[in-house]
Copies of this chain bind each other. A is one copy, B any other.
Amino acid sequence: MARDEVVILGVGMHPWGKWGQNFVEYGVAAARAALADAGVAWTDIQFVSGACTMRCGYPGYVAGATFAQALGWNGARIASSYAACASGSMALEAARAQIRSGRCDVALVVGADTTPKGFLAPQAGERPNDPDWLRFRLLGATNPTYFALYARRRMDLYGTTERDIAEVRVKNAQHGFTNPYARYRQELTVDAVLASNMVADPLRLLEICATSDGGAAVVVASADYARKKGVTSGVKIAAVSTVTPSYPSDQIEMPDFATDSWAVVPRPGHAFRDSVARAAYEEAGLGPEDMSLAEVYDLSSAMELDWYEQLGLAEAGEGERLLHDGVTRLGGRCPVNTSGGLACFGEAVPAQALAQVCEVTWQLRGTAGPRQVKNAKTGITANQGLFGHGSSVILTR
């Protein structure tokens, strides 16, 4: 049903880290970088699509307006989207829909966050109606609890070892080592990973992503607008998937206490996480075999193994083989997390799905420097926000 191609004209990031500034600064810095990269003046932007942060007061809730005001009101229309870790993709889709529906020619998408140290915790106050509050209160279930459940099940079912998980972390450290936007830039050994403290069995400190400050921005435009700017061979958006589960979902998802029940209505043919990339492949008319690289959401290093299978790069239980064969390493058939992934960046929730888009764009342009994937033609991103927000973007050149 696609009628219009939407082009990535520019991308920009603020380095990830712990900078102690207001999130607005990271967002505006990323936005200015993306505008400069695109060669588009801020005053020409017709639509600003912000990915919200819930941690930074009202300015975070109205991210689109906050960035627009900080860049200087230009009368643009705005949106502010929230989908937890998938917020960046939702904001990108909001901008893409405005362009494809003919309501604007060029739009700016921005996400940025200032994240507290330690476990992500709910805001203060008693909220006994809020499952996100209750899972902390009644179970002490932090975010890593859920990642650990997935990891431990994988180990017991498929024989994944602690060493396998650590090797994912080591690979991503090697990838992110030279990325100037990454926060953690040090090579690691499997032994060093396995020597780090256990947080949620079987996951160790170095296998769980930290929380970071950071910002990322993307300038998107209609093909017509790009042509007028003289851009004829840019990076294009082939798909944006923002699917939700189909009932009954049998995967325990943050922040729920229980899955749906499959006693009355049988389970759908595919699990939720498998459907995320599937919807993107369908829209793009492409398959896993066409992907030159992938940026996936390694909230834990074990989760990356799941994504190999959920992206269709391997059969269920075959993720470890892919890793050991070097398929997902730089130089392999389909390198995964060439940026270093969340392992090297840490979470900056509203920015990270956009940071994935930045990385794939640089790879497709051939400007990724030491971490360049040779002859990269098509890349896929995947992540997931709690409460059933799937997210996957396919870019091509």
Contact = CB atoms under 8 A, between A and B. Distances in A.
Interface of A: 1-4, 22, 48, 52, 54, 56-59, 61-62, 64-66, 68-69, 72-84, 90, 93-94, 96-103, 122-125, 127, 129-133, 241-249, 255, 260, 268, 275, 385-389
16 contacts: A1-B102, A52-B61, A57-B129, A58-B122, A59-B129, A61-B82, A65-B388, A66-B387, A69-B387, A74-B244, A78-B389, A79-B81, A81-B81, A82-B82, A100-B102, A123-B125
Given A74-B246, A75-B244, 4 more contacts: A52-B82, A79-B242, A80-B82, A97-B97
A90 B48 CA distance: 12
Contact of A56 (B72, B101, B129): B129
Contact of A65 (B64, B93, B387): B387
Give how many copies assemble into the complex.
Answer: 2
Given A82-B52, A82-B62, A90-B80, A388 B68 contact: yes
B61 A54 contact: yes
Contacts of A74: 244, 246-247
Nearest to A48: B244
Contacts of A130: 56-59
Contact of A73 (B57, B65, B100, B260): B260
B73 A246 contact: yes
B388 A131 contact: no
Nearest to A80: B82
A247 B246 CA distance: 45
Contacts of A81: 79-81, 94
